[in-house]
């Protein structure tokens, strides 16, 4: 009981962050926290949308896999994704970044920038970060479409999302654990899609039989 009374007393007393000189810090802290919540919410919504498309696709066996892109914006965003991703992968495969692991590549580049401050490395690091943000934006847009009839596009998206998650975990340290966890989910969806392809190829088609009337 005494501990409870003392704790209430402590809460009633002004803390260091209540002082006037910390008002700007508190405002920044609030904005930063709000930004992170919005980003986490967006990322979770994007993942769940893709999970829904994958589930719907599996339910209908991706029967209309080769359906044409009737939505012009969907086709445009797909083309943007391919274009940005090609450039992004090319930067990550830069001959100066010899590490095979994406995280190690970027960390090595960051260390190199800190030590040498060369314009080439700085510009390379900036472009990787900017491209990662642009790709995420396209991934968010694409997730709002029903992609259950576009298996190849989903496969591409899962691979790119995996790379972007690893990259984001380096640039946004506060959310690094979240990105590491959601990476596993995108990898799992890619495995499920590959497994479905495998089963579809090696499972003989069943002949549809007329229902037995009792």
- Give residue for tokens 């979240």: 178
Q: Is the pLDDT of residue 13 over 50?
A: no
pLDDT tens digits for range 47-85: 999 999 999 888 876 655 555 666 788 999 999 999 999
Residue 153 has which token pair? 């596009």
Report which secondary-structure segment, H or E, holds 15: none
pTM score of the predicted model: 0.74
Strand runs (DSSP E) across the chain, as ranges?
none
Model confidence pLDDT, tens digit, residues 16-56: 444 445 555 555 555 566 778 888 999 999 999 999 999 98
Residues 6+ apart with CB under 8 A from 180: 165, 169
d(CA 120, CA 118): 5
- For 105-159, give the DSSP string: HHHHHHHHHHHH--HHHHHHHHHHHHHHHHHHHHHHHHHTS--TT-HHHHHHHHH
């Amino acid at each position: 009981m005494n501990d409870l009374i003392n704790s209430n007393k402590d809460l009633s007393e002004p803390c260091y962050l209540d002082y006037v000189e910390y008002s700007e810090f508190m405002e920044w802290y609030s904005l930063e926290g709000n930004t992170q919540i919005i980003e986490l919410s967006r990322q979770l919504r994007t993942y769940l949308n893709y999970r829904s498309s994958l589930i719907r696709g599996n339910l209908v066996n991706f029967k209309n896999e080769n359906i044409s892109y009737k939505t012009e914006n969907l086709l445009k965003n797909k083309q943007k994704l391919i274009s940005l991703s090609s450039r992004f992968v090319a930067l990550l495969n830069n001959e100066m970044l010899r590490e095979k692991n994406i995280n190690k590549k970027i960390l090595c580049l960051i260390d190199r920038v800190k030590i040498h401050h060369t314009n080439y490395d700085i510009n390379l690091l900036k472009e990787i970060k900017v491209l990662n943000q642009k790709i995420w934006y396209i991934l968010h847009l694409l997730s709002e479409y029903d992609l259950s009839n576009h298996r190849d596009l989903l496969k591409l998206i899962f691979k790119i999302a995996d790379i972007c998650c690893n990259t984001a975990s380096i640039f946004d340290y506060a959310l690094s654990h979240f990105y590491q966890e959601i990476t596993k989910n995108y990898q799992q969806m890619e495995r499920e899609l590959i497994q479905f392809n495998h089963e579809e190829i090696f499972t003989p088609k069943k002949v549809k039989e007329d229902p037995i009337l009792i």
